[in-house]
Amino acid sequence: MSDTHAVDGSHRRRLFVYNGGFLTQNRVRRILQLSGYDIKLGKPTDADMIGVWGQSPTSPRGEAVSRATDTPILRVEDAFLRSIHPGREGEPPLGLFLDQNGVHFDPTTVTDIETLLATHPLDDTALLNRARGAVERLRRVDLSKYNGHDPDLPLPAPGYVLVIDQTKGDASVTASKANTATFKEMLVFAQEEHPGAQIIVKTHPETAAGHRDGHFSAADASTRVSLLTDPVSPWGLMEGAIAVYTVSSQLGFEAIFAGHKPRVFGQPFYAGWGLTNDQNPVPRRERVLTRSQLFAAAMILYPKWYDPYRDQLCELERVIDTLEAQVRAWREDRNGHVAIGMRLWKRAPMQAFYGRFKKLRFEDDPGKARILAQQIGANRMVWSSKETPDMNDQPVLRVEDGFLRSKGLGATLNAPLSLVTDDLGIYYDPTRDSRLEALINLSTDLPDPDIMRAERLILRLTRAGLSKYNIGDAPLPDLPAGHRILVPGQVEDDASIQKGCDGPCRNIDLLKRARAENPDAVLIYKPHPDVEAGLRQGVIAAEEMAKYADVVADNADPITLIEVVDEVWTLTSLLGFEALLRGKSVTCLGVPFYAGWGLTRDLSQVPDRRYARPTLAQLAHATLIDYPRYFDPVTKQACPPEVVVERLQNSSLPAQRLGLRLLAKLQGLFASYAYLWR
């Protein structure tokens, strides 16, 4: 980006501010900078603008300078997908509204968003399809402007009327010329227009957190009226309502996309377009819009959205990716975890992954861990291989490496970029349910935008040549012509083999079976990296190898091998899944997580639980997007899988800590004692 142009190519402008928040809030400054505005102090001149935060208490300062210098104002406000918690709790926004004609909630001026809604054609099929897809995804992953709600909290019995409270002094309420009397009037209307129905008054999150008072209190409760202060799901709350009443709340905007036509007592930006019942209509708003048109203008065209991982402006869909990853981490980790069976070197990465909101507590004794978790109200988690049968008397989360793990082996102490937590079982164990199995069964109902996302992810992975460990730099050996079959070796005491095989399941057994059924094929054996490094079991004697394998591809890149073969034979290796992603035929001697769904040739009995017949993209969505969690070591935040793909592709990962590099070298020298760090 040049000094004189914004990222969209427009000329940069100086933005003079008189509110300290513009100087102290780095995220706000960065979004403004990327949008073409350079924050300055002092007196503006020609071609400058004055930055004002909405209609905040500090806005009169900038307005006074504007009048004195005849300088136009840029009104800045948070966009409608903001963060987990309100800004008053210190979280930066993921997007801003930058309006040169007013602030979006003020009906006394024709703002940029109103102009969009009134004059933009809003008839582009691709734009409206994006709007519909985004609405569906927001509903499915339960995202709102603020997301510190608990989707599992109980909701009132369906059939109620929802009345939405707001905070006293809220600028959008004042701009609509509303006050406490307006809210009391709204409550009366709700009761009169729905005789006999229960009235639920939903308090504002900032009121529930003690930041600001609302317009309703316990004094307003009655046999028909009750206040709901619990942080329940907004989408769930809308689903059970028979009617929605609001003054100017964003929940009124969201109610439209939940299928309601809310009764509006203020004059918010979303009123007057045929999608609300307006008590105080804005006469100049005469156009009738569809829900998709309203959403497209307000959520796609109007905001400036920000990607914190790539430090750039972005589209709405990427913000949803970001917020989904971060909100999932908060929902799963907010109560804390007591971690069992974690080796010392794993604890720092585990803390980074799961301890952002409440620090992990580590306890090796399962009995003490159970007591501690009960005392502090935390979850228990255990590294999956360390689970014992007596742990199942209470809920426990099993932890394991994800499928895009790192640049380098876990056995050489490289920190993971992805981990999975499973509350039902673990993905490599077909003898019982797992959360991944459940997600794959559900994947056949995924909407088209989710399928397209999975297809794009597959394409990026395959084009970049990425795999679980992303190692192997030896050149490929000369490969004979013919029908080539890759036979990947595994660690023979690996849990996926112990749980996923019901017959002979050594590496030599796999080679023998592959040769017996393919006597004329070219068999290429790829030893497992941990076995090659001398860290795990699974070595085949050279004389035995020579009887069955035509080529032994030591230290070769497994993805490059997959690309030059016709099919893959495996016990339970993840390379079978990676081969599926690259369009190869896969035969399974054991029962890995990707077997039994109609995409592989299965030589063992697969569980009847695997009844779905997903496409490859549906399987990939469950496996690579829904099941794991990802961690960005650059920003040190939970992130979407696409960010990890880019970090691996661009080699933009922090160097391994010096202590771990030295320890990894030492363990290579003492491989026979690997149980000490595994």
Dihedral of the CA atoms 303, 304, 306, 312 (nearest 10)?
Answer: 150
The segment(s) of the chain belonging to CATH 3.40.50 are 145-292, 446-628
- Please tell me whether residue 47 adopts helix, strand or coil conformation: coil
Q: At 405, is the pLDDT very low, low, confident or very high (cuts 50, 70, 90)?
A: confident
Is residue 4 pLDDT above 90, yes or no?
no
Instruction: Please give the mean pLDDT across all residues of the chain.
Output: 91
H or E stretch at 328: helix 316-333
Mean pLDDT is lowest, of 6-20, 111-125, 350-364, 529-543, for 529-543
Q: Which residues contact 24 (CB under 8 A, 6 or more apart)?
A: none
**pLDDT value, residue 144:** 95
Q: At 533, is the pLDDT very low, low, confident or very high (cuts 50, 70, 90)?
A: low
* Bigger pLDDT: 228 vs 537: 228
Percent of the chain whose pLDDT exceeds 70:
92
Quick one: average pLDDT of 1-10?
53
Q: Which residues contact 185 (CB under 8 A, 6 or more apart)?
A: 265
Structure tokens at 156: 């009132």
Contact call for residues 418 and 628 (beta carbons, < 8 A):
yes
Estimate the crossing angle of helix 344-354 against helix 316-333, to 10 degrees: 120
Q: At 528, is the pLDDT very low, low, confident or very high (cuts 50, 70, 90)?
A: confident
Quick one: average pLDDT of 269-281?
98
Quick one: average pLDDT of 570-578?
96
The DSSP 8-state label assigned to residue 341 in this structure reads S
Is residue 267 pLDDT above 50, yes or no?
yes
CA atoms within 13 A on the CB side of 387: 25
Angstrom distance (rounded) from CA 272 to CA 275: 7
Q: Comparing C-alpha atoms, which of 304, 322, 316 is closest to residue 83?
A: 322
Angstrom distance (rounded) from CA 460 to CA 442: 24
At which residue do the structure tokens 């639920």 appear?
Answer: 200
Cα separations (Å) of 262 from 10, 250, 497, 573?
Answer: 39, 11, 56, 53
Tell how strand 628-632 and strand 637-639 pair up: antiparallel
Quick one: average pLDDT of 322-327?
98
Main-chain dihedrals φ then ψ at residue 51, nearest 5 degrees:
-90, 130
**pLDDT value, residue 536:** 61
Interval 427-459: pLDDT, tens: 999 999 999 999 999 999 999 999 999 999 999
**pLDDT value, residue 676:** 47
Main-chain dihedrals φ then ψ at residue 294, nearest 5 degrees:
-60, -45
- The highest-level CATH class for domain 145-292 is alpha beta
Q: Comparing C-alpha atoms, which of 149, 103, 79, 71 is closest to residue 301?
A: 79
Is residue 658 pLDDT above 60, yes or no?
no
Topology of domain 446-628, CATH: Rossmann fold (3.40.50)
Q: At 660, is the pLDDT very low, low, confident or very high (cuts 50, 70, 90)?
A: very low
H or E stretch at 182: helix 180-193
At which residue do the structure tokens 């202060």 appear?
Answer: 229
**pLDDT value, residue 503:** 77
Interval 54-64: pLDDT, tens: 999 999 999 99
Q: Comparing C-alpha atoms, which of 169, 170, 167, 220 is closest to residue 190?
A: 220
Angstrom distance (rounded) from CA 392 to CA 673: 30
Burial 271-306 (b: 16+ CB within 10 A, else e): bbbebbbbbbebeebeeebebbbbbbbbbbbbbbbb
Q: Which residues contact 358 (CB under 8 A, 6 or more apart)?
A: 333, 334, 335, 336, 378
Main-chain dihedrals φ then ψ at residue 65, nearest 5 degrees:
-65, -35
Three-state helix/strand/coil letters over 223-265: CCEEEECCCCCHHHHHHCEEEEEECCCHHHHHHHHCCCCCEEC
Contact call for residues 161 and 199 (beta carbons, < 8 A):
yes
